[in-house]
Amino acid sequence: MMKHDNEDFENSVLFVDDEIEVLQLLNQSLMDEDYKKFFAQSVEESMEIIEKYPIDVLVTDIIIPGTNGLELMKMIQDKHPKIIRIIISAHIQSKLVIATINKLNVFKYIPKPWDADNDLKPAIREAINLYNYGKNKEKFNDSLATYSLRVVDKHATKGYIN
């Protein structure tokens, strides 16, 4: 596992590809981006990272040893549905693959080779924004529910509510 060690960033992205050269290129291309970066070469390694660290966005290839990126996406959707999912791959030929991607609510598909500045960086930023929107909406709803309970409790103790 390669990890970008800047702990100052709020968000984190996990990149999964069986080719170490691709992971190194991702690390180099995204060096200036403001999020923690984790890198894995297998589904097993990626699941270990997800269980150990809070991951907001997953970026994976379809072809990875042991299983494939679509099966990884299915596991993530089942166990960690809030993680935003992106596929980067040169292997998307069949209607079955496209149907599976749509079924798994994949946020974006980026074909290889990608352009870091025009394809990859904007897609990851959008995914992080979507993740943060969901997290902030959840916090707001929790705060609103807590406030509402306090208001109801306050009025109940004053006899306004039976």
The residue extents of the domains of the chain are 2-135
What is 2-135's CATH number? 3.40.50.2300
Q: What is the pLDDT of residue 41?
A: 93
- Which of the four pLDDT bands, split at 50, 70 and 90, describes residue 159? low
Q: How many CB atoms lie within 10 A of CB 28?
A: 9
- Which of the four pLDDT bands, split at 50, 70 and 90, describes residue 162? low
pTM for this one?
Answer: 0.81
Nearest to 87 by CA among 96, 78, 102: 102
Q: What is the pLDDT of residue 152?
A: 46
